[in-house]
């Protein structure tokens, strides 16, 4: 009947239309993939030439400048990769201070590195590897923070030599009666010894 023919016509037409709609983005994606061009969410081409940026990061005198270069990279549509973040971590470890003029109060290489790792993993989707965590571990050891170093050893993959160094720091702290933070040792009595009385 005419009604059946009409339904079949529009069904075939609909299928062809949907097929074209699906094939178009797939074809674009295949074309981009075949040329190995990185693109952002809006389809704009991204540069993968991180080498010059990494070189600049490796020459900074103060580690805050390494962070500023990361911002410039993103602004120039050249997102950092794993090698870039390793260059940042290495610069933080190498530089004497965050800013010109020396170390400021509250400045922490360990915290700066943890911020960089968070940026790398959660914003850029790049997983930190053993070399990255070794940089962080060295910052903790440089600061004499065996507690942070022990936490890293327990939660991440780090080189055994740094684990051994952390244990040496811990043993020395225990010997000197500094196993726990000073703020805890100043308490008059243990929290577990406090008697709780009903009113």
What is residue 32's predicted lDDT score, i.e. its pLDDT?
45
Longest CA–CA span in the chain (Å) reads: 97
The tens digit of pLDDT for each residue in 44-87 reads 677 888 999 999 999 999 999 999 999 999 999 999 999 999 99
Question: Cα–Cα–Cα angle for 145, 110, 100, nearest 5°?
Answer: 120
Q: Using CA atoms, how far apart are residues 93 and 79, in angstroms rounded to an integer? A: 22
Place of tokens 């170390």: 103
Residue 175 has pLDDT above 60, yes or no: yes
Cβ atoms of 128 and 117 closer than 8 Å? yes
């Amino acid at each position: 009947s005419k009604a059946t023919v009409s339904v079949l016509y529009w069904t075939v037409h609909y299928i062809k239309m949907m097929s074209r709609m699906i094939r178009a983005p797939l074809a674009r994606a295949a074309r981009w993939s075949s040329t190995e061009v990185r693109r952002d969410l809006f389809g704009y081409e991204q540069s993968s030439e991180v080498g010059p940026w990494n070189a600049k990061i490796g020459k900074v005198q103060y580690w805050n400048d390494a962070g500023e270069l990361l911002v410039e990279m993103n602004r120039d549509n050249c997102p950092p990769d794993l090698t870039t973040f390793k260059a940042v971590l290495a610069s933080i470890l190498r530089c004497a201070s965050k800013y010109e003029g020396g170390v400021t109060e509250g400045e922490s290489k360990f915290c700066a590195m943890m911020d960089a790792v968070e940026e790398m993993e959660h914003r850029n989707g790049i997983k930190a590897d053993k070399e990255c965590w070794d940089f962080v571990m060295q910052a903790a050891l440089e600061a004499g923070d065996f507690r942070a170093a022990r936490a890293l050893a327990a939660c991440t993959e780090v080189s055994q030599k740094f684990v051994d160094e952390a244990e040496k720091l811990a043993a020395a702290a225990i010997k000197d009666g500094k196993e726990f933070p000073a703020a805890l040792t100043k308490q008059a009595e243990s929290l577990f010894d406090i008697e709780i009385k009903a009113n």
